[in-house]
Amino acid sequence: MSLKHSDEFKRDAVRIALTSGLTRRQVASDLSIGLSTLGKWIASISDETKIPTQDTDLLRENERLRKENRILREE
């Protein structure tokens, strides 16, 4: 039996996956959803809400910096 998630939950999951700096696998695990489910949500929701190119570049840079920061803290 599959659990029906609200649209708000799906949008939040996609936002976390795209901006948190965590891997999709980590986000899916943290939210107790399947990795393929998260991927489908990202594909469908990001089609609905196209992010401007400038914002996409900023999101990627933030993700890179978060990852670098995590690595430095671990060292």
- pTM over 0.85? The answer is no
**Mean pLDDT, the chain, as a whole number?**
85
Cα separation, 25 vs 43, whole angstroms: 15
Whether the predicted pLDDT of 26 surpasses 50: yes
Q: Does 50 have pLDDT greater than 80?
A: no
Contact in structure between 25 and 35 (CB atoms under 8 Å): yes
- Average the pLDDT over 48-67 and give the result: 76
Q: How confident is the model at residue 46 (pLDDT cuts 50, 70, 90)?
A: low
Share of the chain above pLDDT 70, in %: 85
Does residue 1 have a pLDDT over 50?
A: no
Report helix, strand or coil for 6.
Answer: coil
- Comparing CA positions, the residue from 26, 24, 55 lying closest to residue 40 is 24
Please give the Cα distance from 12 to 30 (Å, whole number): 13
CATH code for the structural domain at 7-70: 1.10.10
